[in-house]
Structure 1
């Protein structure tokens, strides 16, 4: 009986293993736990933000490589060349790309224009005509935006002196009065911004026509820097200022793994969801004002947050379980007939404990007719042993005691038959 069970089980097990193996071929392999991110210069906010991502992601066993660049324009090139997976991009420097997708808007990046306080009547950008102006490094987002703002106001390289200094050098030259003004695009948390705001010899330009600029350049948002916001005791700034702001955006190559998108955005939320000088708590990261179509997985995550698996298990366990969900298809398919057959199989397994004795019992019964007296005595002994063996080894639920007692009754009948034949000889 055991051999029969094994013979039936082997093809069933082989079928289950085969179906799961076939289905497993359609499961995406686990991605390499490594991200390469393009930032900007080491003195910039992008680099400082990337260091925060790196610290959080490496706790999740994700290796993070940081590539420094001149800024957003170079970052786009690095993405297109597949030298990096993701990059910080200043909104406004890119509008179309077949290979790239937005992940999320991260924080406001105001355009700060600082100038020497001894410059009189600097009310509009056109008043910078003829001045020495630092507009950021070449191929940076700062240079791109600065040229847009300057050129629309009639300030060009032909009528002014433009320099491509990085932020540190530009700040030093402004403080030493070697240049008249500088353009910076960075968050309000930048040390350079705080340094310049605290300098009595440096003034911050206020955009009187901020709303007009935001209509002209769709990626710019007017922001208010209120009097005393930076330092109430020293009243910095001493007047309300109108600023224009772009947004820092994370952009990825289309081949970037969906699983890495999710783990990255989990950490992005941790870094950027707090209240800042210009944003409310939970305002960032978001899916607003993106320069490129948003990655589908990023859109789902930004809308719905963590899945129920991610809320229960550590991320990589949840991710693995999610990838294995395709195995539910063969599991459900196989479970329906298996579930239907479980009760007959159970009944068969219980009854087999009883029926397995009938082969031996039948052989003994058939042999009684031709047995001699000595053989009958031996067979009676065998029947008594068999009776004891059945009682010791055959345990069945109460619902099947009828079949059990039928077996005992048949055994008693054969014993009676053997006894009668022995007495008649």
Structure 2
């Protein structure tokens, strides 16, 4: 037996070593754990959001550098010049086919706010700003890009009005002093500038009565409603319902950036932005919807499939290293399994255990299915409708939580058929 072990195992071990050497030539080295993110000004929401990312990523031993800028347009240039890896971008500021730049995610709503001096009469349409002094945001910002589109649609330009390129802080100061009549700013509702302007009785906000018309013309815009008192019930901010136009804040990445770091960034982005917000439902962000730039392939995979099973089991970098070494691990296990199976009887029980584990993911639902089925005969029509909703919710929950290999899909679809039978039984009793 001992002689047989050596005559079989030594050639296999030599073959394993040779396989390691050959496949190691095709394995990508681990990425450098460093990211440079182009934000905006330090007073802006992009920078504040990037600080949150920085804190979370540095817990994963990733060094994060923040690069301030004038805004979206300058951020794109920083990516093209290889000065940044990832950047914040206001959706709609650039069009498709930007060579070397791809979208990662849409992360939150960014409304367009138009504030104007309170002179005793309301401004209901942008066209009423003609001949006024207007700040449209600083050069290189997304605010300027969007403001120019809106003003052009209303026939307002340098020939009939005075246009200024102030940043949000400077524009607020000039508006409060009376040196300008109106200001455009694209920003999150969490911005201190927005809250202070809404609280100022000398400043009014324009409610876009034709918000839906703008959203039809520009697919990256959405019509949002800001209801009275939603920002501050005690101060009643705002003091009336406001119609807003909104774009979204996007993350973009230079092509060729590490796919592993992209996945890690998206995990942290999801952790930050998937909660319910003033304008967004829970789990609405981050998403891959309505992008003007092509989606990065790895980001698309992440939104479609979520975390890998390795990422669900292990800390991220362990899962990442195992995934990178799968070219070595798979042939290694393939070669060693016959050896182990022959000399270690314990391994003979591995496959039954695996089969039981996969099937248990399906069979664990049957107790609930059985209880639903048993309760049908004794229920009245009203309760039957409630029971039907429970069956439909259970189906959605099963689809979301039950992930099994293709070889076990027969058992999975049997479970779905049993749910169909219960639904048909309820519907028959209701008819």
Does TM, normalized by the shorter one, top 0.5? yes
The DSSP-based 3-state class of the residue aligned with 1:89 is: strand
Measure the CA separation in 2 of the matches of 1:162 and 1:318: 53
Assess, with a 3 A threshold, how the Cα gap between structure 1 residues 212 and 303 changes in structure 2: closer, same or farther: same
Q: Which residue matches 1:14?
A: 14
Once the two structures are superposed, what CA deviation does each residue of 1:345-379 show, in whole Å capped at 9, x if it has no partner?
xxxxxxxxxxxxxxxxxxxxxxxxxxxxxxxxxxx
In structure 1, distance between residues paired with 2:291 and 2:5:
63
CA distance in 1, matches of 2:250, 2:330: 39
The residue that corresponds to 1:61 in the other structure is: 61
Once the two structures are TM-superposed, the CA of residue 331 in structure 1 deviates from its matched residue by 2.0
C-alpha displacement at 1:257, in angstroms? 0.8
CA contact 1:121–1:127 (8 Å) conserved in 2: no
Q: Does 1:138 align with 2:135?
A: no
8 Å contact kept, 2:12–2:335:
no
Equivalent position of 1:259 in the other structure:
260
SS at match of 2:111: strand
> Which residue of the partner structure matches residue 46 of structure 2?
46
Query: In structure 2, what is the Cα distance between the partners aligned to 1:320 and 1:132?
Result: 58
Q: Classify the secondary structure of the residue corresponding to 2:325.
A: helix
Superposed, which structure 2 residues align to 1:196-215 within 5 Å? 196-215=197-216
Displacement after TM superposition at 1:338 (Å): 3.7
Q: Shift of the alpha carbon at 1:295? A: 1.2
Stretches of structure 1 that go unaligned for 5 or more consecutive residues are: 344-425
**Alignment correspondent of 1:194:** 195
How many angstroms does 1:302 deviate by? 1.8
Identify if the C-alpha distance between structure 1 residues 219 and 2 changes in structure 2 by more than 3 Å, giving closer, same or farther: closer
What does 1:102-113 correspond to in 2, within 5 Å?
Answer: 102-113=103-114
- Structure 2 Cα separation of the partners of residues 118 and 23 of structure 1: 74
Larger radius of gyration: 1
2:32 corresponds in structure 1 to 32
Following the alignment from structure 1 to structure 2, what is the Cα–Cα distance between the partners of residues 119 and 73?
A: 37
**Structure 2 unaligned blocks of 5 or more:** 345-431
Structure 1 residues 25 and 119, CA gap change in structure 2 (3 angstroms): farther
Displacement of 1:233: 2.6
Instruction: Tell me which residue corresponds to 2:115.
Output: 114
Deviation string for 1:186-244 (max 9, x for gaps)?
10001111111111111110001011000111110000011121222332222111000
- RMSD value, Cα: 2.0
Task: Give the match for residue 176 of structure 2.
Answer: 175
1:69-148 alignment, distance < 5 Å: 69-96=69-96, 97-118=98-119, 120-148=121-149
Distance in 2 of aligned mates of 1:332 and 1:10: 16
d(CA) in 1 for partners of 2:274, 2:242: 25
C-alpha separation between the residues in 1 aligned to 2:341 and 2:275? 55
- Find the aligned partners of 2:266 and 2:142 in 1 and give their Cα distance: 23
- Going from structure 1 to structure 2, the CA distance change for 1:257 and 1:119 (only over 3 Å counts) comes to farther
- 1:172-321 equivalences under 5 Å are 172-321=173-322
Is the contact between residue 220 and residue 246 of structure 1 (CA under 8 Å) also seen in structure 2? yes
TM-score (normalised: structure 2): 0.76
Q: 2 CA distance for matches of 1:57 and 1:340?
A: 42
| Deviation at residue 306 of structure 1 after TM alignment | 1.7
Structure 1 partner of 2:152:
151
**Cα distance in 2 between the residues matched to 1:42 and 1:163:** 21
Paired residues in the alignment total 343
Distance 1:205 1:43 in 2: 23
Q: For the Cα contact (< 8 Å) 2:19–2:328, is it kept in 1? A: no
Question: TM (normalized to structure 1)?
Answer: 0.77
Q: How far apart, in 2, do the equivalents of 1:282 and 1:92 lie?
A: 23
Q: Distance in 2 between matches of 1:18 and 1:95?
A: 50
